[in-house]
A and B are shown apart, each in its own frame.
Chain A
């Protein structure tokens, strides 16, 4: 059971997408104030997110609609996604 949960988590986070892949945002799992900020910057449920850059070290570059964001993997791991489109 644990195994299944873990593997699902690793598939369903924005941080696990590779360069060039995109997915729909399904939620943000963070304390209120943090979620609020991420949403205001464009990470809203239902929007499509595409990974533009994913260097071996350092933050990722994500495109959501007309907005380009850079964010650390640690923070991207708080964003859940759905790749079924």
Chain B
């Protein structure tokens, strides 16, 4: 099979092009020589099967950031037939040196000059023929966003792939010294083939920034925007969640229960009370998750995230972090795992480790599920949002405390320099694609982690045979008794401590486990929970869930990204200790005050 690698700087529309070329067939996977997962897809181009690999956005093929090293070792260890270099047409002066670096690799690339629609509007004219003959490789002008020139780009890539033979790129490092020449060469090429106004004025972006980056109102506007996003997710998500729960319930009573009725009681209980109810309760949270990532993708694609970094940097600098760290913490509110991987843009190890230590305290969408469920079950409609909001505050407080405690030991001199892209209208297809990837990810987890977890909980709470389901004498209650000395002082009952054990694997399992353990759902489960804990115990439980560890995937990502068992262990120990200390102080404090 032929292989095509896509390379380019950040903010060039690289993933828009990749998605347009590959449709929704992409998946993440492992590659030789590369410690991180890369997005790739198999497509048919001109009758041949071709594997397209989307490499991380980089500024410099010879740079020292982790992403740049990933791209280099990928190119060194995997045979490539052709490289597509995505360039931003409005910034050719800035981006052409990277293309020339790729040319030096000894493999003929195709230069894909993207965002030609934007360049047109700004009065930038590019002579593709002149550029192509001067560099000696094909140049295509296109807009991956609206499709202009896309067919031409695909055909050119197809033609190049047909003629190319795979090359291994071992001679990469030898070219390191010639960079200054490349810049001069690029400048000469630009003079020959590009005409642009001396100043690119983006009136719209400047007007919006005048408001959003306002020295006084910028930060309040940012927090307002975030608040509105969260508000929108829940006002839109909650009814959808009820709808899904309703459909699942109807399916159970009308189809599943009569069908499963033929099975012996134990198998029936396993299928209906354990598996179906457990997985179903978890599945009803899918709409909220999709909505969350939908809005995050809009914020990300519009170019506002870089502004968030600008606005929060002075705050973060005091904590030994930087504006990018804040953005990653924010991403962590969706899912901690991609946020941890996002720290790869940081070159300084100390800064990266500190950011990775802080991110797991972001209240991710999986933990949110648990809280939505518990606050609805145990608090009044007016109390619930307040409790939820306090948990978000606690999440920030834990992040700040962690940065303050470890910031002194993990000092860095990393420069904070970030590109501020112009505002762009998010492409609907792109945003939907992101949502689709998240559902796919969720379903993959559902099929492995969540089902295994739910089944395990059912087994633990229904065996040994003869014991009352969920009652004393089951394996679960024995486990709960073991943990009692540690969890009693923070107000967590033996039953709930078993749930915590499973929540360690993934928070998505927590609610499913509750259902599988008790065999109850809906209102019956809510009243059961009310017997398990009062409001003080519930808050203590939720604080513990917030802090003790996000999930096994997060821990594994910390390990693979830091390549240090010591760091991952440190992070785990700190969060377990912090969780217990915070819950203990809260629970005992509240009890002392007579609550």
Contacts and interface: CB of A to CB of B under 8 A. Distances in A.
Interface of A: 30, 33-34, 36-44, 53, 55-59, 61, 64-72, 74-75, 78
Nearest to A31: B413
- Give the interface centre of B59, B311, B417, B421 by most chain A CB atoms within 10 Å: B417
Contact of B62 (A36, A65, A70, A75): A36
Interface residues of B, number: 37
A69 to B, nearest CB: 6
A43 B94 CA distance: 10
B528 interface: no
Interface string B84-119: 000000110110011000000000000000000000
Interface string B299-334: 000000010011101100100001100000000000
B181 interface: no
14 contacts: A33-B64, A38-B415, A40-B59, A40-B63, A40-B98, A41-B59, A57-B314, A59-B314, A61-B420, A65-B94, A66-B91, A70-B323, A71-B415, A78-B415
A43 B97 CA distance: 13
B347 A59 contact: no
Contacts of A33: 64, 347
Nearest to A32: B64
Contacts of B416: 59, 70-72, 75
Interface of B: 59-60, 62-65, 90-91, 93-94, 97-98, 179, 183, 196, 200, 213, 215, 306, 309-311, 313-314, 317, 322-323, 347, 413, 415-422
A37 B60 contact: yes
A56 B215 CA distance: 8
B60 A59 contact: no
A66 B94 contact: yes
Contacts of B98: 40
A70 to B, nearest CB: 5
A61 B246 CA distance: 51
Contacts of A69: 417-420
A30 B415 contact: yes
Q: List the 8 shortest-distance A-B pairs measured between CB atoms, nearest first.
A: A40-B60, A58-B314, A40-B59, A75-B415, A68-B420, A57-B314, A71-B417, A66-B91
Given A34-B415, A36-B64, A70 B420 contact: yes
Interface residues of chain A: helix, strand, loop or mixed (majority): mixed
Contacts of A41: 59, 417, 419
Contacts of A71: 415-418
Most buried by B among A53, A56, A57, A70: A70
A72 B413 CA distance: 11
A69 B59 CA distance: 13
Contact of A75 (B94, B417, B419, B422): B417
Given A30-B415, A71-B416, A37 B323 contact: no
A75 B415 CA distance: 6
Contacts of B421: 68
A33 B64 CA distance: 7
Contacts of A59: 310, 313-314, 323, 416
Contacts of A66: 90-91, 93-94, 196, 200
A72 B63 contact: no
Contact of A37 (B59, B90, B322, B419): B59
Q: Which of B62, B65, B418, B422 has the most CB of A within 10 A?
A: B418
Nearest to B124: A66
A72 B317 contact: yes
Contacts of A38: 415, 417
B200 A37 contact: no
Contacts of A43: 417
A42 B60 CA distance: 11
